[in-house]
Every structure is written in C-alpha cells, then in structure tokens.
C-alpha cells in the first residue's frame, strides 16, 4: 500500500530567541495542502512574502542555512526542517515574525515535542518520494568533504566528522531508518569550539547565545581569567569538564556533535523539496556542502523527469511506412531522403527513424577523420518526419509539398556517429490551421536526446 502525504492536525506556536540576531521571534506552524512542502511566511513584513524551502533559494550558509525569496529571508532553518523530515511531515506553512528561526535548546527536540502534541492528518495524495536510482556524488577535495547518495528503499543516513582536534577527534553517527530520528538524533545540540565562540562574540554575533543551547568544545589552554570573563559575560559559572568541553551542559550522547551534524544534514536536505529514498553517506559535511548536495539531487530529479517525458522506441518494431512507402509521400530521393521508416503516426504526432551509416556520401567531405552526422541534416531529417505528419492531413499527399517556414530554439546535445539509429519525434504544439503546422521535434539515440527544435511548416499543392 502506498504511503500517503500528511500534515499536522492543528496549528502550533513556538517562541524563542534567534541565535545570531538575539531578537525574540514567534512562529506558528499551520497545516498545508498536498504537494505544498515547507514554506515560510514573513508575517512581520509588508505583503507577508512567502519563502519556499528550496535549494535554489539558499543565500547564506556561513553559520546556518538561510533562504531568501520575494525580498524576504529566513535563517537558521535547519533544526526545524530536521524535525519536520524526521516526523515524516510533508506539508506545512510556517508563519514567522522575524528573520531567524529561534534556537531554543540548539537541537530539534522542542520542535518535535510540539509537533507530536499537534498530531498528524493523513492526506489523499501519495507521498511524493524521490528515489535515488544511481549514485549522486558531491565532493570538495581541498576540505576532504564528500557526500554520496546511493539507491535504497528507505532513508538511511551515515555521518563522519573529523576536526583534527585532540578533544573532539573523529566521530560517527548513523540511523538505519528515518523513524529512528526522534529517539536517536532529534535532541542532539549544536556545538562550536571555544576559539570560534570568542571570535563570534568579538564580532557581535550569536547575540542569542547563552551557553544553554550549544556544546562548547575547549580546544586550547584556558586561563582562569578567560573562564571568569565567560562566566561574567553569560552570567553563569563555567569550568572545563573532563570531556574537554565547558561544563555549562552535560552531553546527552558521547558522540553528540556527530549526531548533530547528522541532524543538520537531514534538515538541509529538505531543500530538495521532496522526501527522499536512499542511503546518504557524508564525510565532514557542513551547511554549504549540504545545500550544494541538495541542489545536485534536485538537478538529477529534473534530469530524470525530462527522461520520463521522452518515450524510447524499439527500432525493430514493424513500421507504419517503410522507405518505399515514404518515397510515395515525400518528393525527396537519395542522397537527400533522410528518413528510413515511420514507426508511429497519429493526428498529432509522428515518429521517424534514420539509420546513420558510414556509406553515406556526406562522410567523404564532412569531418572524414571524425565522422559526425551534421546537426543541420538532423534538423532536415526532423523536418522530413514532420512533413509526413502534415501531409497525413490530405487524401492525396503525393500532390503536395511541405515548405518549412521557420525553425526556432534548435539545440544539439550529443554527437551522432555512423552506426547510430536516430529516432525523430514531432508533436503538434497547436492544431493545424490552413495547412500550417507548428511542431516540437526531438531526435534521440537510445535514451539520449541528440537534437531538438521547434518547426513551422506549410503544405502547398503542386501545380499540375
């Protein structure tokens, strides 16, 4: 049975402080219709602009993930996004009255608790999974960052971090199913190194930080004077614990930093815009790499969608017209007859076949050392295929000629070489009027598009 999309049962409200802005912010998470995914509405701004959670809207990843659209931005979205993905919620609208999602305790735990209190409503549409079919890789060699998505019927995630720190060292975290998120990952808090904390404070950042929402890793010798300064700044007594962290909080897991990096990865991959099926493995991920990886997955989704829209034909299928029958309709003859078979023909589309062989005269003069079938002749073959479609509208096609009036948006995407079989498909863009047809033509070799164009043609009767 197919899994259905779901939203929350009733709206929930959460208030808190933005980690970097230090501003109080209120957000309300509301149910949303099918295929809505996650969107923010900046209710504090004029016209209440919408900002969609989408990889194409990412504008900053320096200290969290920021998205911008319609003149508005929302930052530090990853912990809330992780909660939504982890609870397998498909559609919500998030109304927010400030530029930053509240940091709360530095994890997804409070978001998860509030969402669970609301409960969920199953919707009519099936969940819109994107299933990873082939490996998708993202790497930054200079930083030794690598993320890979592999096929899997489920959502499994594995994360490794290594900061070359004697305190933190290498850590791993993983879940074998997204259903483990709430128990194993959601309460893992964000972390930073003491030297980063000091730099952020000196640059007037993390205005909302209060040492209760982050693990601070002590990666250097700290004097009592420095500890006194931190204690005074945050109005809390701090010391260095045995684990090499400030004792402001106790670790919830021995590998809490790695678990939090996994949490961030789950939240950032919501930028793909759909729930995923696959195994994601990451080495040293961060917000910038996560967002770039989400963009790469989204690009693959678009590529797969385009492939689905193009039918692959068997060149050995019985033809509607063979070469002899084509010559009874078209006036062309060798060496300028470019179509060998018509495989399909209806009132709105036609499919033709061209076998490219080394014996064709053109290869004696066109790149004889590297024989490629010319793009201009691919368009001619496409046009002849479309001519069959237009001539099919009259009872005596042998008494008509097809004159091409316009060729637009011609593109050549892959080479065609001897031995290739090119399948040309022409479909009407609009109904034929007064013998004039507008068609979209596509040439394919196997499952690869080699050429495409928009054609306009008119049929005229031959004078007797």
Q: Give me the active site residues, please.
A: 287, 366
> Which stretch of DSSP H or E encloses residue 28?
strand 24-31
Residues belonging to the chain: 464
- In sequence order, the 6+-apart residues with CB closer than 8 A to the CB of 73 are 51, 59, 66, 67, 99
Biggest CA-to-CA distance, the chain: 106
> Which stretch of DSSP H or E encloses residue 160?
strand 155-162
Cβ burial 4-41 (10 Å sphere, 16+ → b, else e): ebbbbeeebebebbbbbbbeebebbbbbbebebbbbbb
3-state secondary structure 394-462: CCCHHHEEEEEEEEEEEEECCCCCCCCEEEEEEEECCCCECCEEEEEEEEEECCEEEEEEEEEEEEEEC
C-alpha separations of 451 from 66, 160, 233 in Å:
39, 43, 65
- In sequence order, the 6+-apart residues with CB closer than 8 A to the CB of 398 are 328, 329
């Amino acid at each position: 049975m197919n899994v259905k999309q779901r939203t929350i049962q009733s709206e929930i409200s959460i208030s808190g402080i933005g980690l970097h802005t230090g501003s109080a912010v209120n957000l309300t998470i509301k149910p949303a219709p099918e295929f809505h995914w996650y969107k923010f509405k900046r209710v504090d701004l004029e016209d209440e602009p919408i900002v969609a959670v989408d990889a194409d809207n990412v504008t900053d990843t320096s200290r969290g993930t920021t998205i911008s659209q319609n003149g508005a931005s929302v930052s530090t979205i990853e912990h809330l996004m992780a909660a939504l993905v982890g609870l397998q919620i498909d559609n919500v609208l998030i109304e927010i009255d400030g530029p930053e999602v509240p940091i709360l305790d530095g994890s997804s735990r409070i978001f998860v608790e509030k969402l669970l209190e609301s409960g969920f409503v199953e919707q009519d549409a099936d969940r819109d999974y994107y299933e990873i079919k082939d490996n998708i890789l993202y790497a930054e060699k200079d930083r030794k960052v690598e993320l890979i998505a592999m096929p899997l019927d489920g959502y499994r995630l594995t994360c490794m971090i290594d900061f070359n720190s004697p305190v933190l060292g290498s850590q791993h975290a993983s879940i074998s199913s997204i259903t483990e998120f709430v128990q194993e990952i959601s309460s893992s808090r964000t972390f930073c190194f003491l030297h980063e904390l000091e730099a952020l404070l000196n640059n007037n950042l993390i205005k909302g930080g209060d040492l209760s929402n982050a693990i601070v890793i002590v990666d250097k010798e700290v004097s009592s004077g420095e500890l006194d300064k931190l204690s005074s700044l945050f109005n809390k007594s701090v010391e260095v614990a045995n684990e090499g962290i400030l004792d402001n909080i106790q670790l919830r897991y021995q590998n809490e930093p790695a678990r939090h990096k996994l949490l961030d990865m789950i939240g950032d991959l919501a930028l793909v815009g759909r729930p995923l099926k696959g195994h994601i493995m990451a080495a040293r991920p961060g917000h910038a790499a996560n967002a770039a990886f989400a963009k790469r997955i989204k690009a693959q989704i678009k590529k797969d969608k385009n492939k689905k829209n193009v039918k692959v034909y068997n060149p050995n299928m019985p033809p509607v017209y063979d070469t002899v029958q084509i010559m009874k309709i078209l006036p062309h003859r060798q060496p300028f007859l470019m179509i060998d078979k018509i495989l399909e023909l209806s009132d709105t589309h036609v499919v033709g076949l061209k076998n490219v062989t080394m014996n064709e005269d053109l290869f004696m003069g066109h790149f004889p050392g590297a024989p490629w079938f010319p793009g201009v002749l691919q368009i001619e073959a496409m046009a002849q295929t479309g001519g069959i479609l237009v001539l099919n509208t009259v009872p005596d096609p042998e008494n008509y000629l097809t004159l091409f009036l316009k060729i637009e948006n011609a593109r050549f995407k892959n080479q065609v070489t001897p031995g290739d079989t090119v399948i040309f498909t022409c479909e009407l863009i609009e109904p034929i009027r007064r013998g004039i047809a507008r068609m979209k033509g596509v040439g394919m070799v196997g499952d690869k598009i080699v050429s495409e164009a928009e054609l306009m043609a008119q049929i005229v009767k031959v004078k007797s």
